[in-house]
A and B are shown apart, each in its own frame.
Chain A
């Protein structure tokens, strides 16, 4: 434990500076216009109810064996107050482990050697986040030389490793792991801060490491597991309950048993603690909501949805190209499963967050993907064309993949900006704009199909691809359709992309005007030339051009429309991501 403390003490000035920066910023931002900052820690002055950690003597294999014997399932649905909301302990553990390791769970790496002692491979031992969460509270020294802390910024990682590692092979191994041990951080932090602390990116990376060091040292502060007593609003920390109460005693014994590697006693203490907490917290939180949250955590609905969409996309494209009906059936089924998983995930998040989940980048991405995919599905069913289904799957896959795999902000469920919380009009504005973005993406995918067919779909020997595709693309009942040529399929694709783009144009226009209505109502100014507003208008203008340019063209209407649709999509991407990340403005929460 003392070794973790060193990291914290050394980094304290930078942490303080970052804190002051955050404080100063908070004073100037318009009231309620930004999401509350994510607080990894609740406080810094509480006692560890699991008792003081002692040096760990367990080997990785012993640790893993111990982990397999411990039953943590009763803990999962225990309510905990953290970062402004009541969540389940499973969520808290997942968030904590992800914040520290940068991945879903912690892994131990055990070198495999042959008879001569030469390393032949590496065995990976994965742990449940909840186990790692408790292990970091009860026996943190185990991790002192393990690859624990994720250092995302490559130059910072290199600099920290270079301070104390000279062997190129070892250095390479740490670099590949992307996670450094607290030992390496302790050795390198000060030197890197002094030598390269003036580099803003390095300083930011070191600041993040300081936050992680704080979580490692004070993680037990997050054990706000006891519901408020009457007359109080604050959830209580376990250590604030009487020292000799059954709960505290059970916690102490739990910690001792954990450090001793006594799984049976750990399980027995777990049952006592959970029973005590259930009795103390009775009626304070909804068991149904906690169950939904647990299911949401374990099912990963958006990732499941993304992979289902991928299968659907591939199957539908293959099915259209080959006329294999079973492939199309597979595509339709997986698309339906993907949309179902996506919808259930969205609904679960709505229930957990107690608000419409479209309030940050992650949520808005899942929302717009759902909007685009559903519209595509409806068009597929009403127009009886598989192409809409393929486009729908592409939209769902691409956006959900980006949302879940690229670390966009907002995956952790938190409180929304006050300005969003207090306006129904704003919700319509945001959701309408998101639907339009989903439609723009859908239209862009349709346009990509068009361009692919236009440039690569040359007639083939025998039946052309286009003939095959058109036969199946038309719909549910391919027998009633007749084969058509390339021009006819391009014409159909053009009609399809225009259908979607017109809808996108309309919803985007309505969304922008709803935003203007809200801005006039709330701020007394309907248009502020905020970058987000400006770029939303530019996106709308692109589609205005699309619609008008078709009147002036005698030929290649579809081709020009498709290229303009791609251009509009790129501008929409800039409006959606680039403006948020690179241009300061009023849409801080978007």
Chain B
């Protein structure tokens, strides 16, 4: 400890009364370097937890063991021979001994590593696909190899938010306090200590600057669209989007958007609405009321961190038009095990609505089809009918008299039934042309094309669908324009088609019909959710749950973790939120995908019909922030490639800037590493006191409110496409449809820079100048001491000479 440190401790002992020992202890603790080291270690641990996935941290034991095997190999290969060599050369010269030891250790060490590589490493090396090799907590590592602590549901923070969280702030605050107190109590304020004092002061200045910076920091980006034609500026932009703060955008009857920030919205994990057991409810300010005065309450009740939105069916309490019954079907199988009976754990779970075309049929590997049959008795009876004859398909023909027959068919067959004559033209496993009827597009079903002669002698061609009898239609020759004369199927002669090529299961409510390939059908009713319906040996089916009404709506489908792009995780780019709207008894939930920029958010907004008939348009994006008194327009964009190639070397965004405060308009070209810098002038406001205004004016000089607009993104795809057109001679020059500029201010950056410079300048002073000064002082002291000794010795010598002379004279 320095002399000043000892003096400080002595001062403590002298002036602190005994009862103030806690204060003395605290003061001494904060004067110690040990506390500084502990606090720095705590900060390091915090940073490690913030940045390293917990799955990687779980790999540490594995690597310790691997390292231990290397050390063991070295010990075994190198240790004993080295011992023998040194014993053998005990009497040899030291140099020889050293050389022999060194060379032996080097050679055997290399040999040990090679041996380890070929003999041990292949057994330790972990292969994820087979699970062979050594890896402790392999499943945990695999599941969390990209999961940092801050991504867990308890945190849900960005990197910046985690670092700005109170635990680290407390640690850093204590460290700064520790440093200030230790500096004052331990370091002499002398010229040679200027370095360490500057460094410590620099860290304090840097910290204060950072606090100021963080409190006023604004950051985000802005997308500027190009004009409709080359040489014309794009739309004027007045706002930019906050970097990470999400917001719900709403527009009532298309009267303009307003944005409501969503605080504490998760980022990484799924919440609510069937995505997860974790619930979520973030109440948002009301955006208005319905006619009649009842406010519309809005809440975020679901969140999907990385999802695709797709149409799906969800149960509803009250049925309305378009709703349909819903069934959850489970398939049980023991084909992959040695058991004879199907395992109770389902191998597949299917949700089948009775509505929709494709959704009501599940195709299980082309061998098993399960259809949730819509309400209606006649088709249900046909599906279970006994088929006469053999064939891959069968027709069921029913007439007005209530009679019906199910007859196996082949192309060319002629059937007489219900008084009608049916001639089978052809039968197809799938429609010969894609179905284009709305709601049925591209749905699959067997189709029979038959010629029908009704009992009353009318003749037409009919297309009969296995799955969709509602699509059956008659063709009565051709119209004048040559198109076929299509008409709805004549109800006097009803024809159904059965597909006997695969195992077919038809279900509805608590009933099921199983039709084996070839045509044998077995009907079951009164099936409970626990009952198993045998389909084939070792394969069964369970009607696990059913709902009388379900509605088709957009639902989130989580993207499998392996398919997720790491740079999208946590950014909301692939997230969706469920927004609940409620007023009176009316309630609706709508899922909204994320739109990064609202000026190109086509297709990501959703419209909700309110109970009063008005429409509310909603979108999920980021919070807008006003540009600092300026507007921006993209005038032109250019990508500069490296010579003779298409590889970008720079990007130039020519931007028209209109500065409202200064009443001026200018054009700036922003490029990589050369941002547009706008210094927002300090605005004197009558709403502030004179002192506040004056203070603000001074601060604006010391720490100006500067905004930087830096090149952050561009329309690479559009540029590539237009470049191809240029090469084909169809365009003069390539174009980009947009450019993206990063926007950020840097309040107090000069304070931070000052702190940084102090650290940079103070360090070499402390390391190199101070030792030189001390050395010089010590040399000077030595020289002074030598002079003094010389001076002291000179009179003595003179007196001695005098004495000698006197003695000589005397003698």
Contact = CB atoms under 8 A, between A and B. Distances in A.
A460 interface: yes
A535 B46 CA distance: 12
A30 B712 contact: yes
B50 A534 contact: yes
Interface in B70-115: 90, 94-99, 102-103, 106
A233 B764 CA distance: 50
A524 B565 contact: no
Nearest to B651: A31
Interface string B552-582: 0000000000100111100001000000000
A30 B711 CA distance: 9
Contacts of B90: 461
Contacts, number: 200
Contacts of A579: 51
A221 B377 CA distance: 67
A201 B32 CA distance: 52
Given A155-B127, A538-B48, A27 B711 contact: no
A551 B648 contact: no
A326 interface: no
Interface residues of B, number: 81
Interface in A308-325: 314, 317-318, 321-324
Interface in A531-588: 531, 534-535, 537-538, 541-542, 544-545, 548-549, 551-552, 579, 582-584
A201 B649 contact: no
B655 to A, nearest CB: 15
Interface stretch (B394-402, B740-748, B780-788): B740-748
Interface in B12-59: 32-34, 36-37, 40-41, 43-44, 47-48, 50-53, 56
A137 to B, nearest CB: 22
B51 A535 contact: yes
Given A196-B129, A418-B651, A418-B672, A523 B763 contact: no
Interface string B722-749: 0000000000000000001011111001
A537 B36 contact: no
Interface stretch (B275-283, B469-477, B752-760): B752-760
A513 B651 CA distance: 26
B701 interface: no
Interface hub of A25, A524, A548, A582 (most chain B Cβ within 10 A)? A524
A84 interface: yes
A99 B119 CA distance: 29
A421 interface: yes
A513 B102 contact: no
Contacts of B34: 552
B40 A541 contact: yes
B365 interface: no
A332 interface: no
A40 interface: no
Contacts of A69: none
A33 to B, nearest CB: 9
Given A155-B127, A525-B744, A317 B102 contact: yes
Given A324-B95, A510-B760, A534-B51, A524 B645 contact: no
Interface stretch (B346-354, B658-666, B689-697, B713-721): B713-721
A36 B639 CA distance: 14
A31 B51 contact: no
Contacts of B648: 31-32, 36, 418
B647 A415 contact: yes
B130 interface: yes
Given A520-B746, A523-B710, A531-B51, A27 B40 contact: no
B95 A323 contact: yes
B728 to A, nearest CB: 14
B759 A509 contact: yes
B640 to A, nearest CB: 9
B746 A526 contact: yes
A518 B106 CA distance: 45
B547 interface: no
B268 interface: no
Interface string B454-485: 00000000000000000000000000000000
B802 interface: no
B99 A541 contact: no
Interface centre among A24, A30, A518, A579, by most chain B C-beta atoms within 10 angstroms, is A30
B140 interface: no
B714 A584 contact: no
A86 interface: yes
Given A324-B95, A551-B33, A584-B566, A509 B673 contact: no
25 contacts: A28-B573, A30-B713, A31-B651, A318-B98, A318-B102, A321-B95, A321-B99, A415-B645, A418-B672, A422-B650, A460-B94, A461-B90, A463-B94, A465-B98, A517-B753, A518-B673, A524-B710, A525-B744, A525-B746, A526-B749, A538-B47, A541-B43, A548-B37, A552-B33, A582-B53
Given A463-B94, A506-B760, A531-B51, 14 more contacts: A31-B740, A84-B647, A155-B129, A324-B95, A418-B648, A524-B709, A525-B219, A529-B50, A529-B163, A537-B47, A538-B44, A541-B44, A548-B33, A548-B36
Interface of B: 32-34, 36-37, 40-41, 43-44, 47-48, 50-53, 56, 90, 94-99, 102-103, 106, 127-130, 159-160, 163, 210, 213, 219, 562, 565-568, 573, 642-645, 647-651, 671-675, 707-714, 716-717, 740, 742-746, 749, 752-753, 756, 759-760, 763-764, 767
Q: In the A-B complex, list the 4 residue pairs whose CB atoms are closest, starting with the nearest.
A: A524-B744, A524-B708, A322-B95, A321-B98
